[in-house]
Amino acid sequence: MWLGALFVVVLLLFLGIHTPIAQADGDQGIDRTSLHTLITQMAERDGRAYTNVTWRTAAQAAQRAQTVADNQQATQGDIDTAYTALRSAIQRLVPLSSFENPFTDVARQGWWFSDAVRYVAANDLMRGTSTTAFMPNNSMSRAMAVTVLYRMAGEPDTTAPLPFHDVTAGQWYTNAIAWANQHHIATGVGGGHFAPHRNVTREQLVTMLYRYAQHQGYRMDIPDSVRLSAFSDAAQVSGWALDAMAWAVSGELIRGANDRIRPQGTATRAECAVMLMRLIELFEFERQPWESEPLEQHVIPWRFVTYLEPDFRAAEQTRYSPRTVGILYRRGDGWALIPTANGERWVYLRANMRYLARYVYLFDQPEGNQGAKVGPQVVTISDEQGNWAQIGTWLGLRWVYLGPETHTFPWQFLTYLEPNFRAEVQETLVPQTVNIIFRRDDGWARISTGSGNRWAYLRENRRYTGRSLYLFAYAGSNTRGPQIGPQVVTLLAQNGNWAQINTWLGLRWVYLGPGTPPGGRRIALTFDDGPSLHTERLLNALRDRNVPVTFYVLGRQVAARPDLARRMVAEGHEIACHTFSHPNLAQVSAVRMRDELTRTRNIIYQTTGAVPTTFRPPYGSFNATTRAVAAEFGYPLILWSVDTRDWETQNVSAIMSHFVGPSGVRIREGDIILMHDTMPTTIDAAIRAVDLLLAEGFTFVTVAELLGSPVSGQVYRRR
């Protein structure tokens, strides 16, 4: 009988007669019903039950499948491909329940951060400090924080430039910082620095999360019921962090404890893990990404402006003619989020309102008689004619000109990221006329440049020197006068890299170009193992001679003498890392070394506000592990080219023999000199050596100034 059945099947195949396929994986391809069924199965799953990476992949596959299923022109090949991709993505979903907690310092359950640590580790958002340790109470650095957000975003490719002196290519955090800076999630700390190893505060971390949420297009409304004033330390929240902190409180990303939210407190790894988990739960699963929402339609009958934020003072994006727009989200105050060709943007619906970012004159009609002046304010526009707008004033209806304001720079000028001479310089531009976007009363203006919108100072040719400068009688002189410290100066005239300024001695010239100014050979004098009871006398002598040096401090000594550490930084010296307790790093584990460097970095920053950028291993002893761990912290290893052996001889004459001998001065351009500010004989010798070398025309600089941009993990003995 089975032979007969086989004959029938063979006959049907021969005749080309096929039975309709009901299952999804038949030979005829996938039908739309099967594709819709698979999409429905995906929609019924709870994304919180799976790792974030595998869930996102499946969600994206479902979104593409939904697009294909809704497209009546889709080919059979399109349907087959969409079905196969979605089925494969679903099969690859990794349940969170399958993740085994490897961290012995995090309880499997019960602790307030246990679930969060397990969640971020399972999703590869945060990793342990070792295979078995998470260190939940350790502080988070700025580099760690942006790296976590970069992983959340899927580690997108970025070709953004690195504008920071302390972020070099090839570091574990390089791409994350470039991406975060590009999207304004985390920018620098000023002076061309990002400070990747500086501890991040709770308000800084919250602000990064807030900007990340904006970048991802999450809904950012804050209920009126949220009041930071409910917390006793609300006054400690910085002005730039107010919205972010209110948003975080409203979403319970932070909940506070004992009536406090500790905005200035250092964020721990456990706190970061909890904030990340709550952020993902709050927004990532608000709705399935493939479930489209019907757009409410709204007619805007006037020319309108879109904004990045629901605020008339926010950056204007695009101007549009009257049209009908789709509403993604409408707020109760008149603002709505709409889709545009450039992404989601905010628009005000109730009236044609605009922010006048500068003082403007009132006219009785366009090009008519000029009257009073009105200051920056939000106005309601009742009529428009080209760049002219009619507004209501205390004088009745009047016209104002809203076209571009211009300013002519007669000198070479600088542009900045922030309205501050100490902020990061973006470009040096030749004399030209620029368009002003926004003018402040203090002389700063937001201007339009070929590289984007930047800040510039309009009133005078002023700039921040950023370093100590020698005064010269004329441009190109080889005879140095006294030094002035880093300060804002007004340039009265320029001649190449030379600039004329007004000083207490009258008009003098300073050299602003790169490299060593004329008449000087640069060297770095360094002191290890302090601060000690002898350091104050050394600081007094250096202050009197206006000489900067580099102190390689021990963390335990900073804790013992914090006032001296603060004075080092305040008086222009470089403070750098020499470990916490002075172990021989070639004989300790990587874990012990990381602890030494972390504790030292933390105590330096907490005491002085400075973040060390270089590192000297005790005894000059290191191995491959030492270099690798130093690179993790962004530290180059700084040794020396001149060892005074001051700790051994404790004799002034013997120490001085390393500076000068029978044939003259032994110090050479680019030398790094090793001394210790822990012995009185060293202080005596150091003062004599400084006077000698100044008389010989040497220039004292810090190690950071001498080396410029040293590479992390590399060893340096001189320039």
β-strand pairing of 642-643 with 637-638: unpaired
H and E: helices and strands count for the chain: 19, 36
Q: Which residues contact 452 (CB under 8 A, 6 or more apart)?
A: none
- Quote the strand ranges of 4-107, DSSP E: none
β-strand pairing of 498-503 with 506-511: antiparallel
Neighbours of 585 (CB within 10 A): 26
CB 677 within 8 A of CB 527: yes
Distance, in Å, from the CA atom of 332 to the CA atom of 221, rounded to the nearest integer, reads: 10
DSSP string, 536-595: HHHHHHHHHHT---EEEE-HHHHHH-HHHHHHHHHTT-EEEE--SS---GGGS-HHHHHH
Q: Which residues contact 601 (CB under 8 A, 6 or more apart)?
A: 197, 577, 611, 612, 633
Distance, in Å, from the CA atom of 437 to the CA atom of 406, rounded to the nearest integer, reads: 9
- Residue 68, SS3? helix
The torsion angles phi and psi of 102, rounded to 5 degrees, stand at: -90, 0
CB 647 within 8 A of CB 679: yes
Active site positions, annotated: 528, 676
Q: Which residues contact 245 (CB under 8 A, 6 or more apart)?
A: 203, 206, 228, 237, 254, 261, 263
- Residue 597, SS3? helix
Distance, in Å, from the CA atom of 2 to the CA atom of 9, rounded to the nearest integer, reads: 11
Nearest to 529 by CA among 591, 620, 606, 440: 620
Torsion of CA 558, 560, 565, 566, to 10 degrees: 120
- Residue 687, SS3? helix
Q: b vs e for 232-242, b when ≥16 Cβ sit within 10 Å of the residue's Cβ?
A: ebbeebeeebe
Q: Which residues contact 197 (CB under 8 A, 6 or more apart)?
A: 141, 142, 143, 601, 611, 633, 634
CB 323 within 8 A of CB 349: no
Distance, in Å, from the CA atom of 626 to the CA atom of 196, rounded to the nearest integer, reads: 19
Distance, in Å, from the CA atom of 450 to the CA atom of 432, rounded to the nearest integer, reads: 12
